[in-house]
């Protein structure tokens, strides 16, 4: 696929978020256990990260492990944690070579100590990189993030550091884990499911949604480009009319 249209900077989403779904079903279709799907899903992660960096996307957030995922079988959780460590070990050189910064959102303190240590090292090592920012949502819950922000705001009001009239959308944003990350313009979900599953609920108020039947291990660079091209065809009005947008362009 030609990247000429995709490289139209004016229509390129600055931030793309992805709900990576379908690993288990992909493995089941092949008579394999769910872990086999997760292992192959890592290849798709690498392809999409490279594709995003290549075309100039500035932020890529991947829904890697939700807070609800702690309810999965212990063996599957252990495998996912091991795959995360393996990914960071194997891809650190690639992240550095491609000027990619690594960040996480979510309740990182709930992860195993060895995972926390690896994450902390990756964040520090890539902190000066200025290209794509790769964000993994780990032990993440959008509802919990909103609740935590509310608690912090209430605490600051009690301490006299903030007043109720001062609480605006802009102020609320500053208490979220995504404080320094722009809201995503495009949210992709794979595997044919049509829901957002407690992911970036505050941040996706005006995000374009893209759903595909493709299972995550089959979601490669070409599939990512398709989603970007679909986004570029859309008219983003933010409450305005098409005529108002046309006048602004003129």
User: What's the DSSP call for residue 181?
Assistant: S
Residue 21 known to be catalytic: yes
Q: Which residues is 187 bridged to in the sheet?
A: 17, 209
SS3 216: helix
Given 69, 98, 129, 148, the catalytic residue: 69
Residue 173 known to be catalytic: no
Determine which helix (DSSP H) or strand (DSSP E) holds 157, and give its type and residue range: helix 142-158
User: What's the DSSP call for residue 200?
Assistant: S
Helix axes 74-97 and 113-125, enclosed angle (nearest 10): 10
Closest to 49 in 3D by CA, of 126, 145, 116, 117: 126
Question: Both tokens of residue 13?
Answer: 């989403």
CA dihedral 27→28→32→33, nearest 10 degrees, is 90
**DSSP strand pairing (101-105 vs 59-66):** unpaired
Give the catalytic positions in this structure.
Answer: 21, 69
């Amino acid at each position: 696929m030609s990247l000429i249209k995709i490289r139209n900077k004016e229509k390129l989403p600055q931030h793309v978020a992805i709900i990576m779904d379908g690993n288990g079903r992909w493995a089941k279709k092949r008579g394999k256990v769910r872990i086999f799907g997760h292992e192959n899903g890592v290849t798709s992660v690498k392809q999409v990260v490279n594709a995003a960096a290549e075309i100039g996307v500035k932020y890529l957030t991947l829904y890697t492990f939700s807070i609800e995922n702690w309810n999965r079988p212990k063996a599957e959780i252990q495998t996912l944690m091991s795959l995360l460590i393996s990914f960071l070990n194997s891809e650190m050189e690639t992240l550095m070579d491609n000027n990619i910064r690594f960040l996480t959102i979510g309740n990182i303190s709930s992860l195993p100590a060895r995972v926390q240590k690896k994450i902390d090292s990756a964040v520090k090592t890539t902190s000066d990189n200025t290209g794509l920012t790769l964000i993994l949502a780990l032990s993440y819950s959008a509802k919990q993030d909103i609740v935590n922000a509310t608690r912090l705001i209430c605490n600051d009001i009690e301490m006299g550091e903030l007043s109720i009239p001062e609480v605006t959308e802009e102020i609320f944003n500053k208490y979220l884990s995504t404080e320094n990350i722009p809201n995503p313009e495009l949210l992709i979900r794979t595997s044919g499911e049509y829901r957002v599953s407690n992911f970036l609920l505050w941040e996706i108020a005006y995000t374009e949604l893209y759903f595909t039947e493709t299972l995550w291990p089959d979601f490669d660079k070409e599939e990512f480009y398709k989603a970007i091209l679909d986004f570029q065809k859309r008219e983003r009005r933010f409450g305005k009319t098409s005529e108002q947008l046309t006048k602004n362009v003129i």
